[in-house]
Structure 1
Amino acid sequence: MGTLMGFVDFLLWMLWIYFVMICIWIFVWVFIDIFRDHTLNGWAKALWVILLIVLPFLGAIIYLIARGRSMAGRQARDVEETAQANADYIRSVAGTSTSSPAAEIERAHGLLAAGAITQDEFVALKAKALAA
């Protein structure tokens, strides 16, 4: 009987630790969202923070009810902006190896028009682009 009660106590402690970790995660996420939201002015952010410090559970529930939809929208927008920034970065470092021959010829023509390369260099770049 003692071993069973020890195991039940262990499971209850694990459940309480789980709930505490979930609560901490929710509070951290709400704090991050408060300071990430550009639609709130400084006073509104200060009031939300005070409410979360004085009445943490009630404040978090009120925040999630009042601003949960916009919270999800901000998160989706941030994910989309990050994905777009990654795609732009990948395109910028990929160089000319993935561009089309027409784009390379156009770029070489721009260099020729700017005087950065000679006519012979332009012909060589054009031949290289067409060979690829």
Structure 2
Amino acid sequence: MNDFWDFFWLMVYSFFFVAYLMVLFQVVADLFRDRELSGWWKALWILFLIFLPFLSALIYLIARGRGMAERQSEAVMRARSETDAYIRDVATTSPADQIASAKALLDAGTIAPAEFERLKTKALA
């Protein structure tokens, strides 16, 4: 029975340690993401995080939590727009490619000449 409780408390401590590490990494990432905070303040926060880790992480979350959420949201939106732009750039085919694929379908007899003209007009539009 003692082994069970030892294992249980090990899991509890491990959970809180991993949760603390996640908070710590988020705080450090937010420090370097913040463009308004000077380098000296960033260095001071890092020193506090090294010497008083739990207290300084808690104070950081209380004092700068709102800005932290806004910066995270901006970073996510920026990444999403860059991803969308990349997908649009890669996924779209040029009008010449569309016309060439329609011509190949016409030559293979898959589509009629009227359908080819419609696809060509759509590609050039």
Q: TM-score range by the shorter chain?
A: 0.7 to 0.9
Query: How much is the aligned-residue C-alpha RMSD, in angstroms?
Result: 2.1
Q: Provide the rounded CA distance (Å) in 1 between the counterparts of 2:62 and 2:122.
A: 61
Unaligned stretches of 5+ residues in structure 1: 99-125
1:50/1:128 CA distance change after superposition, 3 Å: same
TM-score by length of 2: 0.73
User: Where in structure 2 are there 5+ consecutive unaligned residues?
Assistant: 96-116
Counterpart position of 1:109: none
Counterparts of residues 30-109 of structure 1 (less than 5 Å): 30-96=27-93
- Counterpart of 1:130? 121
Q: Distance in 2 between matches of 1:79 and 1:59?
A: 26
After superposing on structure 2, the runs of 4+ consecutive aligned residues of structure 1 that deviate more than 4 Å are none
- Number of residue pairs the alignment of both structures matches: 102
Distance 1:130 1:23, change over 3 A: same
Q: Which amino acid in the other structure matches residue 42 of structure 2? A: K
- 3-state DSSP class of the match of 2:3? helix
The 1-side partners of 2:119 and 2:20 are apart by 61
| Deviation sequence 1:28-68 (CA, Å, 0-9, x none) | 11111111111111011011111111111110011000110
Answering whether residue 23 of structure 2 is matched by residue 26 of structure 1, we say yes
Which gives a bigger RCO, structure 1 or 2 (Cα 8 Å, sep 6+)? 2
Deviation at 1:127, TM superposition (A): 7.4
